[in-house]
Amino acid sequence: MRKILISGGSRGIGAACVRAFCAAGDAVAFLYRENDEAAAAVAAQTGAVAIRADITDRRAVDAALEQVREALGEIDVLVNCAGIGQIKLFTDLTDGDWHRMLDTHLSGAFYLCRALIPAMIRRGGGRIVNVGSMWGKTGASCEVHYSTAKAGLRGMTMALAKELGPSNITVNCIEPGLIDTEMNAALDEQTRSALCEETPLCRIGTPEDVAVAVMFFASEQASFITGQMLGVDGGYAI
């Protein structure tokens, strides 16, 4: 049975990944930041282990990983999915906005990868799947810090893929387009339909659309694919 760790599994795309891996018979643990009720509901529904930890805090990550190891043992597949969104003019961004964004998407992935990779190397392989964004490829107005963080994940994906290939660890990145989750709850109807109109497949994506792609990169069948970015965006970023 594969052991899977997913950051940001309490809702949205991460929760869809938890459900998909559990349905495939894998043993799953997930991290989340604050909504105990949502996390408990996902855990009860799937049998996954929910652990509350802020991934921007390295000590909290280390403590959470102790719990993960107690519950599951060493991890075969890491999915870096936890994330936050914020829409703000670049010139209005505070130091806090900037650091929170980079710490969540980049430092969080860094802490988790650094802690889990040694055991993957010892065990002869593993899979890392990062969840980026199409905005990391194209850039989004009023989301410069978010776009910067997601572009950083592209670099991390490619560089880590090169470094870890000889250890039989693949590293890939999913780049979703607009997906129907609570992260986008603040978007008004006009913006949502404008984004739909610009999407060749003419719809907003579902968390399950993204989970399918995560499952593929994590699968045995994808063993010769590494360092790749895969858009799950209905064709928006073509």
The catalytic residue among 32, 111, 146, 236 is 146
Supply the minimum distance, in Å, between the C-beta of residue 138 and ligand NAD. Answer: 12
SS (H, E, C) 24-52: CCCEEEEEECCCHHHHHHHHHHHCCEEEE
Amino acid letter, 204: I
Quick check: is 146 catalytic? yes
Residues found near ligand NAD in the complex (CB under 6 A): 7-14, 31-33, 54-56, 81-84, 104, 131, 133, 176, 178-179, 181-184
* Euclidean distance between CA atoms 219 and 116, whole angstroms: 18
Q: Which of 192, 214, 197 is nearest to 81 (CA)?
A: 214
Supply the minimum distance, in Å, between the C-beta of residue 176 and ligand NAD. Answer: 4
Q: Which of 200, 232, 228 is nearest to 213 (CA)?
A: 232
Shorter beta-carbon distance to ligand NAD: residue 123 or 180 = 180
Supply the minimum distance, in Å, between the C-beta of residue 177 and ligand NAD. Answer: 6
Shorter beta-carbon distance to ligand NAD: residue 81 or 218 = 81
Shorter beta-carbon distance to ligand NAD: residue 19 or 124 = 19
Burial of 37 from C-beta contacts in 10 A (0-12 / 13-18 / 19+): exposed
Supply the minimum distance, in Å, between the C-beta of residue 169 and ligand NAD. Answer: 21
Longest pairwise C-alpha distance within the chain: 51
Shorter beta-carbon distance to ligand NAD: residue 37 or 220 = 37
The residues assigned a catalytic role are 146
